[in-house]
Every structure is written in C-alpha cells, then in structure tokens.
Chain A
Amino acid sequence: MTEPVAVTGVGLVTPGGSDRDSTWSSVQTACATSAYDPVLRDLSVSLSCRVPMLEHSILTQHGSANLDPAARFGLVAIAQALEQAHLDPKAWDGSRVAVVTGASSGGMLSQEKAAIRLISKGPNSVSPYFLPAYLINMIAANIALRFGVTGPSQSVSTACASGASAIGMARTLLVTGQCDIALVCASEAPITKLVVTGFTQVGVLSRRASRPFDATRDGFVISEGAGALVLERDGHAAARRVKPLAHIIGYGASTDAHHLVQPHPTGLGIERAIWAALSDAGVTPDDVDHVNAHGTSTKVNDRIEAAVLQRVFPHRPPVTSAKGALGHTLGAAGAIEAALTVLAMVEGKVPPTAGLNNVDAGIDIDIVTGVVARQHSSSIAISNSFGFGGHNAVVVFAHS
C-alpha cells in the first residue's frame, strides 16, 4: 500500500465544453456531442466530437500561433487545474514540480498539414514548426515552458490508456520523493482524415452514435480534448492548507500480450489490472462503489469489460461511461475520465451514460441510464482505461 496522493485540481477541455463546469454539466445531462464533421465529408465515417471555441489567456502568450490543437487543449486544461488547486507557478519552486503527459499520438493535424505541403510543394515548403508541433513529448514541453516546470518530465503512450498511465507515472514520481507537485495532462487532437481513415479500416468507428453498452452499439465516435489533474502528496497539500478534491489510493496496470488491437477474449488483462489496483489501494472489491468504465461503445470492448466488472464486483456498483457524451478522446480519455470520476465523488452523483437506451442482453451490470445523474455517494471509485496494444490501466480514488 502506497502513500495517498491528493488531487487538488482538475481541468477539462472536451466537446462537452471548454472548461470543467461545462463539461461536467454536459456529461451529467447525457448530452451527446457527436455531429457531422465537414472535414471528414469525403470519408465513409464523417462523425466526430469537436471541442467548442477555445479561448484562454494562456493561449494569448507569445509562441501560441504555431501550437498544435493538442497542445492548446492541454495548456488550457492545466491552467484550469492549477487555478482550482490555488497554485501560482510564479511562486513555486519549479524544480520540485513534475509534468507527466499522456497521448496516443503527437500533433496529427500538424503532421497532416506538413505531409500535404511536402507532397504538393516540396520539402522547402514544410514549416520548421511542424516537428515541435508533432512530437509526442511537446505537450509536456509546452506545459513546462509556460508554467516554469523544471523537475522531471515524462510523456507516456499506451494508446487509449495513456491518460491513466500518466496518472500512475506521476503518482510514482510523487511517492518516491522525486517531486512535490505533479501535473498530469493527457491531450489528443486526432480528428484528421488520416487518423479517422485508420480507425475506420480497423473497424471500430460508429457511423451513427456512441452508445456504450447498448444492444445496438457499433463503435465509437472519434473525439478530441484534454484532461488535467494536479497531484500532490497529502502532506504537501495539507501544508498549503488546500483541501483535496479526492485521493488516489491505488493504481494497477497490465498488458494482454494477446493481440495488437483486440482485448483478451475473457478480459484476463483487464481483470489483472483491476486486481492490481485494488491490491495497491489495500481495498477489496466490496469497497468499490462506483466504476467509471472504459466503455468505448465497440461490440467487443463493452462485452468483455462488462463481464469482468460482473465477475470482480458482484455487488453491482453503479457504472458509467463518459464516451456516450464525449466520444472517444483516445489517449486523453484516461485523464478526462479520471477528472470526471473525481467530480462524481465531489458532487455525490454518478452521471448517466449518454446514448444508452437498451442495455445489451448479455450485459449484467448496473449502468446508469437516462438523462439525469444518479444521486450516489462514492467512498471509493475506480476509473478503467484500456488501449490498443493490450495496455490496461486502472486508477483507484478515495473520497477526501
């Protein structure tokens, strides 16, 4: 069992809204955000979930013009989280602050633009800002640059588990004393023709809507956004007299080693990650009273995840998936959903799963449905994240 880590701030930039409150409002009213995307009009799948207009003072600073959208989302989410945590980067010792980011890919829009110019106009037409916008570590670098973070920095990539993996990494940096504050940010801006074509060819995108756990689900809707968390050791937050929103008490990870893009058929890897997280937290399954599921809305993921949840948690804690409302933000999802799990605990509610009308007959777990959040106090909750490549990561939160 490891020392608890306090969550003192969260930030959200999602298709549900460009800040924490608007996102939470959208999710707890089951507001689906998918819409026809004219950028994708020539493709067989032309649905996406887009972040609304994003304005923030952090994006008016010099050097903002060439940022990839993924970096823009991440910077705004971190700024929100720092504000909630009552942390002023001008006053902190940056050498004791770490930043850990998660993403499944780098700046894909920047990559697409550069590739088009290379092909159509030749190598001399490619912007020198392409690479700094594309590299997967540059969200961390931009956060460090803007906020004066000079402690450890890491960029984690475990596909759609990246956000949760980043939380696990940040927690390790904190409990091993490598930093006093860890900024976690997972951000993704993948809505390009190339990425959407890639997911279409794998066969995981819906042409209709995101409907996690629904009998008619046929895939996810690609999405974009960022989630951020400010983490501190409990004693550090107490010394600053800041009340934590929640605590991270456990983390578990596993790898399927089964298939590049399909989960193990019985959910073996998922189940091992959950057990590892519960063991790390020093709790039993009975203690868990809310599950924020990965819930992608694909036929295979939701069936396997639900079967695992049914096995591990027979007492049927309420389950939700934010992907019905927000679509699938890929590498950002783990941090966005971790932040939503924290907000659910703070608010004493479990949001409904947007798009879920008829639970699949083969699924027997208590999924929150409808358009109103369920009043439910959670003492201990878990957030599941699973990624292509067989990466599984589970974070355990405790009410503060």
Chain B
Amino acid sequence: MDNLNCSTWSSSLDLISRLLVEKFEVDLSRLQIDTPIADLLVDSLMIVEMAIAVQDTFGVKVTEDELRKLDLGEFAVCIDERRSGR
C-alpha cells in the first residue's frame, strides 16, 4: 500500500490530503491511496462539503456519486484529468 509521500501525482493529491486533514479532520495516518473516500468522509454532509471544496480549490466539479465510489488515488487522478481538461 503506497503512502501519500510516495505519490507520483502529488499536486492534486497533496491538496486533497491537506483538505482532508485540515478541513475534514481526518487523521493523517488514514490517508492511503486505496482508501475509499466514503470511508474518510463519514456522513452525507461531508460528501457534499467535499464536492464544494473541490470546486473551490480546483475549479472542477465532482459528483457526490463519484465521491462515494472512488478511492483516494482514483479521486486524485480524476481531479488531475479534469484540471488538465482531459
């Protein structure tokens, strides 16, 4: 299991990680790239809040369904792709 520090696409991942720790009070030790986002954001309010935070931080949209399905690594890739317009 890769640790966040080993990430090769750290830009979005770092920002998401910072959001999770500072805004969503997630313990840093729980941030692994294969951890489902839904395990980190434990209720529906946090899911909605993350969608808003992603829009504010990256200027891209993610749906609540995507947040419920993706793990942290997939989520970061998804953000990267949308930021680069792919």
Contact = CB atoms under 8 A, between A and B. Distances in A.
Contacts, number: 24
A116 to B, nearest CB: 13
B24 A65 contact: yes
Contact of A65 (B23, B44, B48, B55): B23
A124 interface: yes
B49 A128 contact: yes
B55 A129 contact: no
Interface in B9-53: 22-25, 44-45, 48-49, 52
Interface residues of A, number: 12
B25 A124 contact: no
B23 A127 contact: no
Contact of B48 (A63, A64, A128, A132): A128
Nearest to A124: B52
A40 B56 CA distance: 26
A127 B25 contact: no
Interface string A120-137: 000011111100100000
A63 B24 CA distance: 8
B49 A127 contact: yes
B25 A128 contact: no
A279 B48 CA distance: 54
A90 interface: no
A65 B45 contact: no
Contacts of B25: 62-65
Nearest to B43: A128
A64 B48 CA distance: 17
B56 to A, nearest CB: 8
Contact of A127 (B24, B44, B52): B52
B53 to A, nearest CB: 9
B55 A125 contact: yes
Nearest to B51: A124
Given A65-B24, A65-B25, 11 more contacts: A63-B25, A65-B22, A124-B55, A125-B55, A126-B52, A127-B49, A127-B52, A128-B45, A128-B49, A129-B45, A129-B49
Interface of B: 22-25, 44-45, 48-49, 52, 55-56
Closest 9 A/B residue pairs (Cβ): A128-B45, A128-B48, A62-B25, A65-B25, A128-B49, A127-B49, A125-B52, A65-B23, A129-B45
